[in-house]
Structure 1
Amino acid sequence: MGGHRRLWWVLGGTLAAAFTILGFFGREVYRQAPPIPERVVSVSGRVLMTKAQILDGQQVWQSTGGQQQGSIWGHGAYQAPDWSADWLHREATALLDIWSLAESGLRYDQRPLEAQAALRARLQAELRANRYDPDSGTITVSAERAQAMAQTAAHYRALFGGDPSLSELREDYAMQDAAVADPAR
């Protein structure tokens, strides 16, 4: 009987330690979460999105079963892409094309390798720069990046809105047509 009592103490201690660690890291997830900006604006001051719009979009995404389709920062299902990575990839691709067309009249993938390398270096600097102002809660982006964001948002409106040209992609992602039937949502 004495051996069992010791095992119960070991089990209790192990559970207490495990839940203490889980509680600590659970708190840290929320404490270190990236801030949701009050607004995202272009350098000209045009408001691209507000905190309310971001939170509304998050709610719509959750109402469609978002994490059952794809993931955010690697958390969720893997039938569809990681939406944050997909957005960044599409925005980066659009930005490369915007810059390339402005410089040469050619799309990025039509340019010589040296020109592509220069544009990729510029892209890396653009995407890695922290443009968040913690005092005002504002992210300020370049005019070109605002244009790339608009193109990316249009893709997602079409994807979630039921655009027939994206039906094959929706099928690949195991999404229903018109997952968000009302664009005003």
Structure 2
Amino acid sequence: MRANAVYSFGATLPVRGMLGRLVARKYRKTEGTGLYGERQNRSTSGIDCGRPSGVAVVEFAVVAPIFFLLILGLIEFGRMVMVQQVITNASREGARRAIIQGVTTAEVISVVQDYLASGGIRSATVTVTPDPIDSAGYGEPVTVTVSVPFRQVSWLPSPMFLGGVELRATTTMRREAVQ
């Protein structure tokens, strides 16, 4: 049996076999419906009116604040994780320098400040204990602590979620002094 089917995309193709009849039935063009049989918004002349309903505007007004709040939260928490990683590495570098024989506290603070500056952090507080470092003997702990208020390193003008948080990293290593 040979038949022709007119499809919604304008083609007239011969229908062959059971599969062809199923495809023809699914995509057959009917008056006033779209590709999958949904009703079209048409005027009496058959031209698409194109009048948008207010539903999209209302949905956007409801969803947009939540969406933007989510995006700003992601930016803020991402920056917090990045700064925490930088200050952790800076305290580790300072502690590695502090355990060496003959190093002063000023040198350790300078190493930490240089590392922080390369990460874009300029307003951190660095503490080295014991001070002076030479007061710690062989195998005794030397601690380097770096802290910075998140408000000073945030990329947002006014941090919403983490404004009052102080980021802190502490590294303790044993001194390698001569006995």
TM-score where L is the length of structure 2: 0.28
**Structure with greater strand percent:** 2
Q: Which is higher, the Rg of structure 1 or of structure 2?
A: 2
**Structure with greater helix percent:** 1
Higher relative contact order, structure no. (Cα contacts within 8 Å, ≥ 6 residues apart): 1
TM-score where L is the length of structure 1: 0.28
